[in-house]
Every structure is written in structure tokens, then in C-alpha cells.
Amino acid sequence: MSKKLKVPTLKEIEDNFSEWVDDPERFEVVKKRNEQFKAAVKEGKINMRVNNADLLLLMLKADEKGMGYQTLLSSLIHLYVNDKLVDVSEVRKVVTLPKKIGKGATTKKRA
């Protein structure tokens, strides 16, 4: 029967790092600790209160995109925390979009 190893905390590893470096058995313990950390970080759960009208609109937007509302909300949070969520009204202040061309008109010059 294999010996069960206690998985140390990150602080225990940091405090005793020199003892851990060259020991293969301890290396496996550190590896297991890292896997546990990755699993814990992979997905978290939250409970929150949301205005019913906002929740309904979120559900409608998610349905338009063919995804679940929780997936859409998770995506929005991810974009926000990574500074990739863009405020369209701010973009419009900076970028000038071309005017709409009437029906049948073309932007190409004819030779």
C-alpha cells in the first residue's frame, strides 16, 4: 500500500523550499498541490441579486447569441476583468464611421 502524503500549504512549501528542491517524493507532493490549486481556480461559484428586468434582458441577449445566460454573464465578467469590455459610446467619440450610402449607390469609382 502506498504511503499517503500530506499536501502542504503554499506557505509551508515557501518556508521550506530548500528542503523540497531535490526530493522527488516531495516534488510529487508539490505537483499534486498545484493540480489542486488549478482545479480550485478553474471555476468558482457566486450568488447575486439582479434586477428582474436586467435578468430578463440578459436571458434574451443570451438566447439571441445561442448560449445560456450564465455563460454570457461569465463571459462579460471575464471581458471586464481583463479590460476587454468596450463601451460603444466611448468608441463612437473616437472613431468616425462612414455615412450610410443610399440604396443602389456604390463606393467604388467607375473607370
Q: Is the model more confident about 43 or about 50? A: 50
In sequence order, the 6+-apart residues with CB closer than 8 A to the CB of 30 are: 8, 13, 20
Q: What's the gap between Cα 64 and its chain centre?
A: 21
Confidence (pLDDT) at 5? 59
Q: What's the gap between Cα 93 and its chain centre?
A: 28
Assigned C-alpha cell, 41: 481556480
Confidence (pLDDT) at 108? 57
Q: Is the model more confident about 45 or about 42? A: 45
Residue type, 21: V
For 71, half-sphere exposure in the C-beta direction (CA atoms, 13 angstrom radius) is 9
For residues 27-42, average pLDDT: 74
Q: Is the model more confident about 72 or about 106? A: 72
Between CA 38 and CA 43 the distance in angstroms is: 9
Helix (H) or strand (E) holding 28: helix 24-42
Confidence (pLDDT) at 35? 80
For residues 60-72, average pLDDT: 93
**pTM above threshold 0.95:** no
